[in-house]
């Protein structure tokens, strides 16, 4: 993968806001993603980690062009050689770009899962799909069941299968592993790894960051709708000293196998974002500069970080 | 207090195979018991049976030797894997919380639940935010036992540590018993006093 320099997907200065009714007929804009950047190279797994509600799933919807109609997207989205427009998105999604949705409720409740995993393109990839089901340890009869007859972990494995079957260049997997056992989660991620080794690209949105440390190439950390750090996965394996942003370090420390200690405070709500650095209110190193200006993206030790004080 | 599941068998309908077959399991006040098993093994089903959501085909769930009360707030509260399915979508969140009793500001504060969220509908909040409401609701009910079914898999690790530290502190203070269904071995090592493997039918070392 290192041979390629060109990016498959390039996102910069992305912002997403929703037009909402405040009171009576007053409308207001709620900015949920701001100044977000991310690049994905061919053959690479980029994990996206970060707090719940930091805009990870919205990013997936923005790339695919499936945000609701009250959303406004600004910024640059490049895929291969061209700008991603509503038209190209409509053409690419489901064929070149595939999504593993976050909720198991995305399965069609009235369709047997084998048939829906096969998709609508003929010839149906039934043999390939059976192979994937088998690798996931799904019993043979699973294909004849309806979604409500599956456990949470089984439904999740069916969802992941739907993306693994496609010929997509880019797979966006939105939290593919909750409810799976550790072995199943590892199996799912090693299947993604194999696809990446064949030259495909994967955006892995996940809270299982300790698994991402082992399977991803790079990890992007989101906070309150922006990218605070992008670092090689290796740095996360090494620990907080190798990381750049205080929030990434806090994530590492909160893992149960590390210190299991949360930092104080909560992510700001989209309607009441602070000025300056979005992490400043919870940051032990925050200065007046942090509280007044948005830190630019800087390159430090082979990673990118949005922090004035990172070294 | 002692919460027991005794010889529980359960199937979802008469024609389907047994999901749980003669399972027994118990938890005492002050314990945090991890419940392990491969996916599809009936962990969530057992959780629902123990909290009185499902009636077993045979066997009993006993709290200090007596069946769970059928009226009032159940002393065994289940916190569910999917918060969006555990909250009435047509109720504002204040009503969701008040269903379990008087609002406790200390609980709201420790989960970062802002006052303005109370006037929102569930669909306006993220999954992680909703899960904090579900945990707060269970704690404010004054339950003696909590059954936590994969409650933090959809949360970031900082929120996970926040929620679990709060639950453990409250459990210690009020001598509650806790069952934690999880796939996360590292989390189990952190929070559990012992771990029971449903597939093996015995306690396991972690």
Look at phi and psi of residue B32 and say left if phi exceeds 0, alpha if psi is from -120 to 50, else beta.
beta
A61 lies in a domain?
A: yes
Which alpha helices (H) appear in A166-263, and where do they start and end?
182-197, 209-215, 233-238, 246-254
Give the pLDDT band (50/70/90) at residue A226.
Answer: very high
A112 lies in a domain?
A: no
Give the pLDDT band (50/70/90) at residue A1.
Answer: very low
A175 lies in a domain?
A: yes
Q: What is the pLDDT of residues B96-126, one digit of tens each?
A: 999 998 899 999 988 888 888 899 888 878 7
Chain B residues with a Cβ under 8 Å from any Cβ in chain A? 38-41, 44, 81-82, 84, 112, 114, 125-129, 150, 153-162, 164-165, 183-187, 189-191
Distance from CA of A77 to the nearest CA of B (A): 25
Q: Judge: B158–A51 Cβ closer than 8 Å, yes or no.
A: yes
The partner residue sitting opposite A179, judged by closest CB among B153, B156, B189, is: B153
Beta bridge partner(s), residue A31: A17
Q: Judge: B183–A181 Cβ closer than 8 Å, yes or no.
A: yes
Q: Judge: B39–A256 Cβ closer than 8 Å, yes or no.
A: no
Which among A151, A205, A246, A265 is the top mutation candidate for probing chain B, defined by the most B β-carbons within 10 Å of its own β-carbon?
Answer: A151
Beta bridge partner(s), residue A36: A14
The partner residue sitting opposite A52, judged by closest CB among B81, B150, B159, is: B159
pLDDT score for A291: 95
A267 lies in a domain?
A: no
| Number of Cβ pairs < 8 A linking chain A and chain B | 98
Q: What is the pLDDT of residues A39-76, one digit of tens each?
A: 999 999 999 999 888 889 899 999 999 998 889 999 99
Give the sheet arrangement for strand B32-36, strand by strand.
Answer: B76-79, B145-149, B177-181, B32-36, B194-197, B202-204
Number of independent structural domains in chain A: 1
* C-alpha span between A69 and A78 (Å, rounded): 21
Q: Under 8 Å CB-to-CB from A310, ≥6 apart: which residues?
A: A244, A245, A298, A300
CB-CB contact of B23 with B58 (8 Å): no
On chain B, the residues whose CB falls within 8 A of the CB of A266 are 112
Q: Judge: A49–B154 Cβ closer than 8 Å, yes or no.
A: no
Angle between helices B127-140 and B157-174 (to 10 degrees): 0
Quote ipTM for the complex.
0.88
What's the predicted TM-score (pTM) here?
Answer: 0.88
A249 lies in a domain?
A: no
A192 upstream amide cis, omega within 30 of 0: no
Distance from CA of A6 to the nearest CA of B (A): 31
Q: What is the pLDDT of residues B19-60, one digit of tens each?
A: 999 999 999 999 999 998 887 788 999 999 999 999 999 999
On chain A, the residues whose CB falls within 8 A of the CB of B84 are 103
The partner residue sitting opposite A181, judged by closest CB among B38, B159, B189, is: B38
CB-CB contact of A11 with A76 (8 Å): yes
Give the pLDDT band (50/70/90) at residue A3.
Answer: very low
Q: Under 8 Å CB-to-CB from B71, ≥6 apart: which residues?
A: none
- Whether the pLDDT of residue A154 is over 50: the answer is yes
Q: Judge: A49–B156 Cβ closer than 8 Å, yes or no.
A: yes
* C-alpha span between A153 and A184 (Å, rounded): 9
On chain A, the residues whose CB falls within 8 A of the CB of B46 are none
* C-alpha span between B148 and B168 (Å, rounded): 12
* C-alpha span between A53 and B126 (Å, rounded): 6
A138 lies in a domain?
A: no
* C-alpha span between A15 and B171 (Å, rounded): 42
According to DSSP, residue A270 is labeled: G
- How far CA A169 is from CA of A78, A198, B189, in Å, comes to 14, 10, 39
Residue A87's domain spans which residues?
9-96+168-238
* C-alpha span between A63 and A175 (Å, rounded): 16
Angle between helices B157-174 and A246-254 (to 10 degrees): 50
Which has more confidence, A308 or A270? A308
A286 lies in a domain?
A: no
Closest CA to A73 of A11, A15, A30, A9: A15
On chain B, the residues whose CB falls within 8 A of the CB of A157 are 39
Residue located via tokens 């198991």: A104
Residue of A nearest to B45 (CA): A151
* C-alpha span between A5 and A41 (Å, rounded): 7
Residue of B nearest to A138 (CA): B40
Contacts with B, A 89-118, CB within 8 Å: 103
Closest CA to A225 of B126, B111, B120: B126
On chain B, the residues whose CB falls within 8 A of the CB of A256 are 157, 160-161, 184, 186-187, 189-191
pLDDT score for A4: 45
How many C-beta atoms surround the C-beta of residue A87 within 10 A?
9
A210 and B CB contact within 8 Å: yes
* C-alpha span between B16 and B27 (Å, rounded): 29
Give the pLDDT band (50/70/90) at residue A311.
Answer: confident
Q: Under 8 Å CB-to-CB from A125, ≥6 apart: which residues?
A: A118, A119, A165
CB-CB contact of B159 with B152 (8 Å): yes
How many C-beta atoms surround the C-beta of residue A193 within 10 A?
17
Q: Judge: A154–B40 Cβ closer than 8 Å, yes or no.
A: yes
CATH number at residue A35: 3.40.50.300
Residue of B nearest to A22 (CA): B120
A231 lies in a domain?
A: yes
Beta bridge partner(s), residue A283: none
Residue of A nearest to B164 (CA): A260
């Amino acid at each position: 993968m290192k041979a390629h320099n060109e990016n498959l997907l390039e996102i910069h200065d992305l912002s997403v806001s929703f037009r909402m009714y405040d009171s009576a007929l007053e409308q207001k804009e709620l900015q949920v993603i701001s100044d977000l950047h991310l690049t994905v190279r061919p053959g690479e797994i980029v994990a996206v980690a970060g707090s719940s509600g930091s805009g990870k799933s919205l990013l997936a919807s923005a790339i695919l062009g499936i945000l609701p109609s009250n959303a406004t997207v600004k910024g640059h989205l490049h895929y291969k050689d061209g700008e991603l427009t509503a038209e190209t998105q409509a053409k690419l999604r489901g064929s070149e770009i595939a999504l593993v949705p976050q909720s198991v409720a995305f399965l069609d409740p009235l369709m047997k899962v084998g048939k829906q995993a096969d998709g609508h393109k003929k010839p149906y990839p039934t043999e390939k799909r059976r192979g994937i089901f088998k690798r996931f340890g799904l019993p043979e009869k699973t294909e004849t069941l309806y979604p409500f007859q599956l456990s949470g972990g089984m439904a999740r494995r069916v969802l992941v299968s739907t993306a693994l079957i496609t010929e997509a260049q880019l797979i966006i997997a939105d939290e593919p592993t909750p409810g799976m056992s550790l072995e199943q989660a590892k199996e799912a991620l090693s299947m993604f790894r194999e696809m990446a080794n064949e030259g495909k690209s994967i955006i892995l949105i996940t809270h299982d960051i300790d698994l991402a440390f082992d399977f991803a190439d790079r990890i992007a950390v989101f906070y309150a709708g922006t990218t605070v750090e992008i670092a090689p996965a290796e740095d996360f394996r090494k620990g907080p000293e190798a990381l750049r942003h205080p929030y990434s370090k806090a994530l590492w420390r909160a893992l149960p196998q590390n210190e299991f200690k949360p930092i104080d405070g909560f992510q700001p709500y989209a309607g009441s974002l602070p000025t300056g650095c979005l992490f400043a209110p919870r940051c032990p190193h925050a200065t007046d500069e942090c509280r007044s200006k948005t830190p630019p993206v800087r390159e430090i030790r082979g990673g990118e970080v949005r922090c004035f004080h990172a070294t | 207090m002692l919460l027991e599941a005794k010889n529980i068998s359960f199937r979802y309908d008469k024609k389907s195979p047994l999901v749980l077959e003669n399972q027994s399991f118990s938890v005492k006040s002050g314990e945090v018991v991890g419940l392990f098993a491969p996916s599809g093994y009936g962990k969530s089903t057992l959780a629902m049976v123990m909290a009185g959501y499902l009636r077993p085909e045979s066997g009993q769930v006993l709290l200090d030797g007596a069946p769970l009360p059928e009226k009032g707030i159940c002393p065994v509260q289940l916190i569910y894997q999917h918060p969006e399915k555990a909250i009435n979508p047509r109720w504002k969140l204040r009503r969701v919380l008040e269903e379990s009793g008087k609002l406790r500001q200390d609980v709201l504060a420790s989960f970062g639940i802002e006052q303005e969220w109370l006037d929102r509908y569930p669909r306006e909040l993220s999954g992680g935010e909703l899960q904090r409401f579900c945990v707060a609701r269970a704690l404010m009910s004054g339950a003696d036992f909590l059954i936590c079914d994969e409650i933090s898999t959809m949360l970031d690790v900082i929120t996970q540590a926040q929620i679990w530290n709060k639950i453990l502190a409250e459990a210690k203070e009020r001598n509650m018993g806790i069952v934690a269904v999880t796939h996360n071995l590292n989390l189990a090592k952190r929070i559990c006093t012992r771990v029971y493997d449903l597939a093996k039918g015995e306690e396991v070392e972690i």
